[in-house]
Structure 1
Amino acid sequence: MYENFQPISFDEINTYELASRPSKVTVRHFAEPIEINDSLKDFLDKLPNILAVQSLRELARQIRRAKELNKPIIWGIGGHIVKTGLAPVIIDLIKRGFVSAIASNGSVLVHDTEIALVGFTSEDVDASLGKGDFGAARETGEILNSAAKRGMKDKIGLGEAMGREVLEKNPPNAEVSLLCQTYKHKIPFTTHLTIGADVGHFHSNCDGASLGATSHTDFKLFCSIVKELGGGGVYLNLGSAVVLPEIFLKAVTVVRNLGFPLEDFSTANFDFIRHYRPTTNVVRRPTAGGAGRGFSITGHHEIMIPLLAAHILCGE
């Protein structure tokens, strides 16, 4: 029926011995069964040395190296890091010297402040939006906007201003508040706002000039920290799909535009799905051309971040 086409013959296909072929996975990479009395280090060592585990192990090595070299380890975080209960893990890493700075979007301020004040956060948006109650908690907006106004007056960034403001309230949950603990330990906390995206921006005491000025101060501070990444530093993007990847990319170009070398550093993106901007603006573009190495690790924060912390503390 088909004059120009007939089924091709496989009779002359060339083959080779299986044993002669290089392969990416061997039994040496396989997992080992977990025993009931295994230590945490035993558990980590028994994970398969494949794909995400390889990435976690190598990233943890780079973080330990950064600490040894006294280079920045910057944790960029979105609000879900607080909402998935991970602040105590990061605070412990602060105390152990594995956090040089935290960069956040605006939602972190909302959730961390509420945790510090009352021990709960993350309202039911579906239930409150129809009534117009979403985001209308008085204290959340008051603290954010008071901090911004005082911060602008004192010429400090919004993250530092928020840490001071919240800690001055003597909140009952300060020990699990990233704002309180970074302020207490003098760890830079920079906040990068999208005006209108956070609930405090429509409260009556909101002043856009204060929010803009303090967030801009934080961007300049963030650039100063990114400037030191070269020679072994690490930047982590945890759960910010748009804002922080864009902020980081702009900081990278500022640093290079000013003539500072930015090579031999690592970046990593953690999220439960892979988004375009973190993959492009954190993992790929800044490290392109051999300038550094980027990691993409996909999974739920409440599982992956404790695993990363465990690898940092227990790895070799």
Structure 2
Amino acid sequence: MPTRHRLFDLTRLKLQPLADRAHDLDFVPASCPARTAPTPTASVRPALAGVAARLAAARERGAARVLMMGAHVLRSGVQPYLLDLLRRGFVSLVAVNGACVIHDFELALIGATTESVARYIKAGEFGLWTETGRINDIVAAGDAEGLGLGEAVGREIARGAYPHKNLSLLARAWELGIPVTVHVGIGQDIIHQHPNFSGAAFGSASHRDFLIYAAEVEGLEGGVVMNLGSAVMAPEVYLKALAMARNVAAREGREIRRFTTLVCDLHDLPEDTRAEAPKGSAAYYFRPWKTMLVRTVADGGESFYCRARHDESVPELWTALQGM
């Protein structure tokens, strides 16, 4: 029985070319550095130096090295550092939200991304850009082949005519055979507005990515999970996947207890983050703290918090990993 309620008719929408959009971030050529540049060693925060040592040890033993992040990381111009960490094996899986895919795709296609919400929402133009909607067709085709969402878009950029694919995290990961898992919430991303969006394809492909992510978490004993700037997606996806992995490990006589977590964000947390914030306080609802820094490492793991912008924390972590 179909829904009793009226649906929005997507065929009424008007889409416009990206050439007509004013971009808040133009990464070509100056905004995104072409090369990595080390941070003075003395300026590397202790938390990042500690995580660097644990990443090197995890790589040596073949344990999971998971990088989770929000879209602002890609907008901060740190792609060269992230691409080098992938190349050198310090990351075994990247987990992102849907907005990361959009920024990565637009950067690869036109070398620019990000629109002014305040400007374009007034006329109902926000997010309705023709070329960006191509992601929907890429995901649908990839899902039909049994690919994950990140895998499908990464393959397309790597193989296709994208003038700035050197900026693409998804393309480089696909070339290296490193999974990029994309965890979407339908209605949260601009491409969900487009008439060619398929909720079935995105749900199927993103669920496949979740299972890829959970399989990687099975190898987390002795490993590292890093969360750069994701307040909801990263801690929630990580929590459920860890529960699944521990459920299976317990029945196989294994443990997933001794691993390291890192959270990089701008919240002003206390120096000692090993205890939860009191219930009722605003900080209690900051999931990365209670989930990633306290609860899931309480029986053998360790956690680190770094308060810094992404254009500071990522280069510092990269610097700390030099020579390892």
TM norm structure 2: 0.79
Q: Deviations over 1:21-47 (max 9, x none)?
A: xxxxxxxxxxxxxxxxxx958x31x34
Q: Give the whole-Å Cα distance in 2 for the aligned partners of 1:280 and 1:139.
A: 40
Shift of 1:169: 2.5
Partners of 2:154 and 2:173 within 8 A in 1? yes
Relative to 1, partners in 2 of residues 1:305 and 1:146: Cα closer, same or farther, differing over 3 Å?
A: same
Partner residue of 2:167 out of 130, 155, 176 = 176
How do residues 160-309 of structure 1 correspond to structure 2 at under 5 angstroms?
160-230=151-221, 232-259=222-249, 260-273=254-267, 276-290=286-300, 292-309=301-318
User: Which range moved further: 117-126 or 161-170?
Assistant: 161-170
Q: Deviations over 1:288-314 (max 9, x none)?
A: 122x11111111111111111101115
Q: Deviations over 1:262-285 (max 9, x none)?
A: 122111111122561111122212
The letter of the residue matching 1:138 is: T
How do residues 20-59 of structure 1 correspond to structure 2 at under 5 angstroms?
43-44=40-41, 46-47=42-43, 53-59=45-51
Does 2:99 correspond to 1:102?
no
Shift of 1:214: 0.4
Partners of 2:108 and 2:162 within 8 A in 1? yes
How do residues 75-154 of structure 1 correspond to structure 2 at under 5 angstroms?
75-142=67-134, 144-154=135-145
Does 2:311 correspond to 1:311?
no
The letter of the residue matching 1:286 is: T
Pairwise CA RMSD of aligned residues? Answer: 1.7
The letter of the residue matching 1:200 is: I
Paired residue secondary structure (2:113) = coil
Relative to 1, partners in 2 of residues 1:204 and 1:40: Cα closer, same or farther, differing over 3 Å?
A: closer
User: Which range moved further: 167-176 or 201-210?
Assistant: 167-176
Q: Which has the larger radius of gyration?
A: 1
Q: Give the whole-Å Cα distance in 2 for the aligned partners of 1:182 and 1:119.
A: 19
Partners of 1:272 and 1:301 within 8 A in 2? no
Shift of 1:162: 1.1
Paired residue secondary structure (1:258) = helix
Relative to 1, partners in 2 of residues 1:240 and 1:40: Cα closer, same or farther, differing over 3 Å?
A: closer
Q: Deviations over 1:111-155 (max 9, x none)?
A: 00000000001111111110111111111112x211221122111
Partners of 2:38 and 2:315 within 8 A in 1? no
Paired residue secondary structure (1:82) = helix
- Answer 1 or 2: higher relative contact order, Cα 8 Å, separation at least 6: 2
Number of residue-to-residue matches in the alignment = 268
Partners of 2:45 and 2:306 within 8 A in 1? no
Does 2:65 correspond to 1:73?
yes
Relative to 1, partners in 2 of residues 1:221 and 1:40: Cα closer, same or farther, differing over 3 Å?
A: closer
Q: Which runs of 5+ in 1 are unaligned?
A: 1-38
Paired residue secondary structure (1:297) = strand
Shift of 1:81: 0.9
Paired residue secondary structure (1:102) = strand
TM norm structure 1: 0.81
Shift of 1:233: 0.7
Paired residue secondary structure (2:292) = helix
Q: Deviations over 1:157-198 (max 9, x none)?
A: 101011122233321111110011111111111000011000
Relative to 1, partners in 2 of residues 1:40 and 1:198: Cα closer, same or farther, differing over 3 Å?
A: closer
